[in-house]
A and B are shown apart, each in its own frame.
Chain A
Amino acid sequence: MNVLADLAYWQETIIKVLIGLAAVLLPAGTIVYLYLFKMMSFMQSRLGPMEAGPFGSMQPLAEVGKWIQKEDIFPTKADKRVFAAAPFVVLMSTFLLVIILPGGPDATFVDLNVGIYFGLAVSSVSVIGILMAGWSSANKYSLLGGIRAAGQLIAYELPMILAVVGVVIQAGTMNMQGIVFAQAEGEIFGWGGIGNPYIITQFLGFVIFMIAIQAELTQPPFDMPIAESELISGYLTEYSGIRFLLFFIGEFATSGVFSAIAATLFLGGWYVPGIDPHNDIFNVIGPLILFGKMMLVAFFIYWFRFTYPRFREDQLQRLAWKVLIPLSLVNIVATGVLKVVL
């Protein structure tokens, strides 16, 4: 049963766009407050924000209020049109990415049959936004940061794409909904008690994917592009006020969406064992389950962020090209052999 089926296309789309806005902004706010403010503070033996709202929970809103009142500064030498356009490209990439996430058997934004393939394609659009920001600032730090970002993002895109191939081989489809069903109805050596979440059979792929998205999100230990001790703030150096905030929102919203994609590909998405995956109840509780799994994955991303020191540029490239890419190629071949033989 699909509640949206009776509506006209434009009504359905308006509802979807509103849900999409919530799906981008709410996880971003939750991640910023819970992980960036609170968890980081506790790991560093301090309290973190405590003043705005109960336990400082309104702090993200207070930050938005603060940044919105800042003066809009365009450096005289900057390429103003490109400088202004860069945040649009970054946020657009996030919104195109959220569209592939399924929240239940019928609860999808768009059920693209090339789902994850489309997602991997649009996720790399943000590289263009970052290069635009770095180049148009006409600042040496920004330029270096932008080039570093481009080098890092293309290097880690490959392990990310190749790690997903293992999942696609197992599921036999690129459709996100199909991948969830394949996990829900799958069996591990004939035992289907908990389905087959691919974190078990694709553990190597999961580890590679997590490392690669950490780098794709330019989260520490992969934050060479905005390494503040070397490059001030990398490609963000000349941005201030609302335009800086938009990059910030984009970064954390994308980390939420990527965590949700990892949860869908490897942890079974909106499905929990014990209920028939075609049950209508998943249209209601599915998004909440996905949110829970997303927060779990995001927890690991931020745990690594607060724990590890930054990579040097050559170490970072070496890890991608000499370790992760060969490993993911081995993973593809091994998965293919096991799929055909078993």
Chain B
Amino acid sequence: MSEFLRSYLTVAIFGATGCLLVGAFVGLSALVRPTRPQAQKYLTYESGVDPVGTGWSQSNIRYYVFALLFVMFDVEAVFIFPWATRLEAYGYFGLVEMAIFIFILALGLFYAWRKGVLRWV
């Protein structure tokens, strides 16, 4: 196996370790904890009164536009990182190129700002 794949195998093993740790804690707890079922214990908590309606109630999600803006800037970050590592080699050409790219994105943010989506409506 190549060195490259091997390092990502270690990454996967670390992820599995995290899951195993959680499993070990829950398993250990299962050995020592009491179980005394009572219907009231399993009610949804709503400040001590009987829950009203369903828990998955409809609520007005503010800032959903931000999720769209987030996608835009996250993709931008994907492009910026490789550029940042090679900036010395590209010199002025790379700098101007990226300045234009960032300017266009900043324009997008500015547009959203002026449109009023960046405030509590």
Contact = CB atoms under 8 A, between A and B. Distances in A.
Given A13-B10, A139-B46, A95 B87 contact: no
Contacts of B73: 158, 162, 325
A11 B22 CA distance: 23
Given A91-B19, A154-B67, A241-B29, A9 B6 contact: yes
A104 B27 CA distance: 36
Interface residues of B, number: 67
Residue among A93, A169, A332 having the largest count of chain B Cβ atoms under 10 Å = A169
Nearest to B34: A71
A81 interface: no
B52 to A, nearest CB: 9
A314 B120 contact: yes
A68 interface: yes
28 contacts: A17-B17, A20-B17, A68-B32, A71-B34, A88-B23, A92-B15, A95-B14, A112-B11, A135-B56, A138-B54, A139-B46, A139-B55, A143-B59, A151-B62, A151-B63, A154-B66, A155-B66, A158-B70, A165-B84, A242-B28, A242-B29, A246-B26, A317-B63, A325-B73, A332-B102, A336-B99, A339-B88, A340-B92
Interface string B79-108: 011001111100110110011001001100
B66 A162 contact: no
A262 to B, nearest CB: 18
Contacts of A242: 25-26, 28-29, 33
Contacts of B86: 172
A329 B107 CA distance: 12
Given A99-B14, A174-B81, A321 B88 contact: no
B87 A76 contact: no
Contact of B7 (A21, A98, A111, A172): A111
A322 B33 contact: no
A333 B66 contact: no
A245 B55 CA distance: 23
Interface in A35-75: 67-75
Nearest to A73: B41
B115 interface: no
B55 A143 contact: yes
A74 B118 CA distance: 38
Contacts of A151: 62-63, 66-67
B59 A147 contact: yes
B22 A246 contact: yes
B46 A337 contact: no
A142 interface: yes
Given A9-B6, A314-B120, A329-B106, A92 B19 contact: yes
